[in-house]
Structure 1
Amino acid sequence: MKKIKEIAILCAGLDDVMRGYETHTRLLFNSLLKENIEGIEFKLYKRTGKKNKIEKPLHTFSRDSKIVRFLAKFRGTNFYWESLFFSLKFIFHTLIRFKKFDKILVIEPMVGRTLLVFKFLMKGKPTIILTHGVSMEPKEYIQMGDVFHQVSIENYKKQVSYFKENKINKETFLIPHFINDTSDNLKQTKEELRNKFGIQTKKVLLSVGVINRSKNMEYIIRETNKLSKDWTLVLCGKIGESDLIKLGKELLGKRFIHLFVNRNDIPEVYAVADLFVLASIQEGFGIVSIEAMSAGLPVILHDKELFRWILKDDTVCIDMTKENALSSFINNKLINNPNWFKEKGISNRKLFENNYSWTAVKKEYLNLLLTK
């Protein structure tokens, strides 16, 4: 295996917002550093945040700046312009500092597109690797990278088929997202944490994500209302549609709890739950599902190929466009196999360790980044 010398990892939103993009980039960069690979130097570029020898903020316009909002009225979106300014500043930085990178890993599509267009300006003409984790068709992102990293089996199959059909010779890797194991960091018991968050029932159903209808949160609220009064619904995330909070309180009363906590406190939220549900019909991946598995929770997802691939179990993927599907599934388990919740949680924990921990995916990520 031929080693390369310098690898740049770019993410404009890092240390500013906390989407899946930023979560993945920070975890990957920190994990790579801990490997302490001889002869390999990793550099992280971001729009804002703290500066040190290996992390460089470029201080470009944010998605919320006046100039970006103004330009977005005429073309593209706020994210488009944020990514464009960030990419151009990075290219300028490499030119005036005579920086040469062997590979550049990006996760924001517009960053990849811009770097590929102006790649001829960069010293050594680095390989651009795009981590693709959104719902885009291959023909839309083909000009955003030299090499592609897919985190979804659905996107991977689409790309392989499209490339074969159009005789495109670009390498593609299928490697899932991963997370750090934080299960040992808890300082309080489950009961203590439930008291802390004001939970008064025996059972807790948890969902994590933006509280809006695109995450299908209304469905979870209405389905929880069909369960016994032993259940409390905890929704953890930024409020996107405030009427859903009102609906939860109207239907469930004190059995509805909304939380919005610091990222470091998320393990406490998972620790209070007995069951995790992500009801989204569409997701780029759904990192929260593997966070729940890491916490040893049973997980229920919508019935689609991506989620079946993640969970390795078709029986826990149900059609969450259908009324009563979720509540019936939970009630049937309680009646026919009450031990299922504990047993599934244990098997999910093993699934996480074997598939979605850094130890499980490290070899694949190093292969993506360190081989020519």
Structure 2
Amino acid sequence: MNKTIKVYLACTGVGIINRGIETFARECFNGLHSTEGLQIELFKGAGDEKLDEHRLWNLPRNGKLAPFLGKFIRRNRYVVEQLSSFIPFVSHIKKGKPDIIFYSDSNLGFQLYWWRKQIGIPYQLLFSNGGPCNPPFTRTDYVQQVAPFYRELALKAGEPPSKHFLVPYGINVPDGDPLLNHEERQNIKQQLGLPSDRPIAISVGWISATHKRMDYVVDEVAALPEPRPYLVMLGYMDANSPPIIDLASQKLGKDGFTARSVPYEQVAKYYQAADIFVLGSLKEGFGRVYLEAMIHGLPCIVNDHPVMRYVLAEQGIFADLSKSGAMSQALADLLERSQSVDNRIERREFVRKNFSWQSLAPSYLQMFHDCLAHNINV
């Protein structure tokens, strides 16, 4: 493996929104940028131009034009954002001639597949299936499956094993232990406007009733007797969010919760202030938020699903969250037990061993080399 591989990592949402695939793209670039034998460049939708980071012109999904144009093509604003970045991206591809285009935005990938001959660069397309999408995967060359569950689904559907690589999402794990003394945590709570005299349960994800099921989380926390934990909900907020906030106001009281959308780099402070992580979703493509929570030593209450079992392993607290009362019972049981310092350290070390970029960089480099093992005639 002597050849230096040039990889273009494209994600239009970087700098625009902080979902799982955007934070993965940001950290993937940072984590692999200094890897020997790899030249990786990031193409993002917004933010400053830096070394090997390029801003693609686009119509951002949170702007005024994207939803307007989406009505004409009968697609959503996210698709408009991806399609609008295609021509600007092509100019970079023709100039830089990448070996591999690594992406999570499927609609951008479709265009790169359909127009590859006209573009004239024999790049390989590697789709990172963190969404996830279901088979067949006919409009890409290779697929990064981030959990065994989805690779197995693809193979059962008849997909060739050589097309699907099992390489999990990586994450940046800080040095040292996730330990703050009592005074430090109290200071952080004060900075964030959080109560200092109650346990804090945090849930990170889209603040809506769909997928992340924040309404379920509110109901389950509200089912606990006083003094119940203070609930922090962090994530993307849109037209689906006000009903969740109204529900929380009714059931928890205005002094019983916080719902905010904050920049990704500020989320760590909330994890440091929290005692427990909870997520109401019944399934996930991977669930990077579980790793984020464990990096800060938090116990995680999650649905019992093969993907969550893969990511959290023996560190998770699993319950059937499709049932009313399941999360509240798990919370009550956890609150009765004291959390040891050793447990918090063990959770961060679990993430470091299994999902840090230092641990996973060789697997990513091998995946890129395997993508180039077979040439495509374009």
With the length of structure 1 as denominator, give the TM-score of the two structures: 0.88
Q: Helix, strand or coil for the counterpart of 2:24?
A: helix
2:59 and 2:261 mapped to 1: Cα distance?
27
> Aligned residue for 2:365?
366
1:89 and 1:147 mapped to 2: Cα distance?
24
Instruction: Give the structure, 1 or 2, with the largest relative contact order (CA under 8 Å, sep 6 or more).
Output: 2
Q: Helix, strand or coil for the counterpart of 1:189?
A: helix
1:84 and 1:238 mapped to 2: Cα distance?
22
Q: Helix, strand or coil for the counterpart of 1:34?
A: coil
Amino acid at match of 1:32: L
> Aligned residue for 1:16?
16
> Aligned residue for 1:324?
325
Any residues of structure 2 matched to 1:40-55 within 5 Å, and which? 40-55=38-53
Equivalent pairs counted in the alignment come to: 361
Any residues of structure 2 matched to 1:93-112 within 5 Å, and which? 93-95=92-94, 97=95, 99-112=96-109
Cα distance, 1:243–1:53 mapped onto 2, change above 3 Å = closer
Q: Does 1:213 align with 2:209?
A: yes
1:169 and 1:156 mapped to 2: Cα distance?
9
Any residues of structure 2 matched to 1:252-271 within 5 Å, and which? 252-253=252-253, 254-271=255-272
Deviates more, 1:54-63 or 1:267-276: 54-63
Q: Does 1:195 align with 2:187?
A: no
Cα distance, 1:352–1:67 mapped onto 2, change above 3 Å = closer
Q: Indicate if the aligned counterparts of 2:42 and 2:54 stay in contact, CA closer than 8 A.
A: yes
Cα distance, 1:85–1:308 mapped onto 2, change above 3 Å = same
> Aligned residue for 1:74?
73
> Aligned residue for 1:86?
85
Q: CA deviation at 1:152?
A: 2.6
Q: Helix, strand or coil for the counterpart of 1:201?
A: coil
Q: Helix, strand or coil for the counterpart of 1:244?
A: helix
Amino acid at match of 2:139: M
> Aligned residue for 1:157?
152
1:306-343 per-residue CA deviation (whole Å, 9 max, x = no partner) reads: 111111139721111211111112223444xx135766
Any residues of structure 2 matched to 1:242-257 within 5 Å, and which? 242-253=242-253, 254-257=255-258
1:37-94 per-residue CA deviation (whole Å, 9 max, x = no partner) reads: 25x4322223333224522223133333526632443333222232223223322443
Deviates more, 1:269-278 or 1:311-320: 311-320
Amino acid at match of 2:115: F
Cα distance, 1:248–1:342 mapped onto 2, change above 3 Å = farther
Cα distance, 1:75–1:251 mapped onto 2, change above 3 Å = closer
Q: Does 1:6 align with 2:24?
A: no
1:260 and 1:94 mapped to 2: Cα distance?
34
Q: Does 1:129 align with 2:126?
A: yes
> Aligned residue for 2:376?
none
Cα distance, 1:170–1:278 mapped onto 2, change above 3 Å = same
Amino acid at match of 1:172: H
1:18 and 1:122 mapped to 2: Cα distance?
30
Q: CA deviation at 1:148?
A: 0.8
2:321 and 2:10 mapped to 1: Cα distance?
36
Q: Indicate if the aligned counterparts of 1:236 and 1:258 stay in contact, CA closer than 8 A.
A: yes
Any residues of structure 2 matched to 1:284-323 within 5 Å, and which? 284-313=285-314, 316-323=317-324
2:86 and 2:158 mapped to 1: Cα distance?
26
Paired-residue identity, %: 25
Cα distance, 1:350–1:42 mapped onto 2, change above 3 Å = closer
1:126 and 1:315 mapped to 2: Cα distance?
40
> Aligned residue for 2:172?
180
Q: Helix, strand or coil for the counterpart of 1:179?
A: coil
Cα distance, 1:235–1:183 mapped onto 2, change above 3 Å = farther
Q: Helix, strand or coil for the counterpart of 1:322?
A: coil
1:247 and 1:293 mapped to 2: Cα distance?
28
Cα distance, 1:149–1:255 mapped onto 2, change above 3 Å = same
Unmatched runs of 5 consecutive residues or more in structure 1: none
Superposition RMSD on alpha carbons, in Å? 2.6
Cα distance, 1:136–1:238 mapped onto 2, change above 3 Å = closer
Q: Indicate if the aligned counterparts of 1:61 and 1:68 stay in contact, CA closer than 8 A.
A: no
Cα distance, 1:60–1:323 mapped onto 2, change above 3 Å = closer
Deviates more, 1:123-132 or 1:174-183: 174-183
Q: CA deviation at 1:300?
A: 1.0
Amino acid at match of 1:100: K
- 1:147 pairs with one of 126, 133, 142: 142
2:261 and 2:354 mapped to 1: Cα distance?
28
Q: Helix, strand or coil for the counterpart of 2:72?
A: coil
With the length of structure 2 as denominator, give the TM-score of the two structures: 0.86
Q: Helix, strand or coil for the counterpart of 1:159?
A: helix
Amino acid at match of 1:162: A
Cα distance, 1:85–1:247 mapped onto 2, change above 3 Å = closer
4+ residue runs over 6 A deviation: 183-188
1:169 and 1:236 mapped to 2: Cα distance?
38
> Aligned residue for 1:279?
280
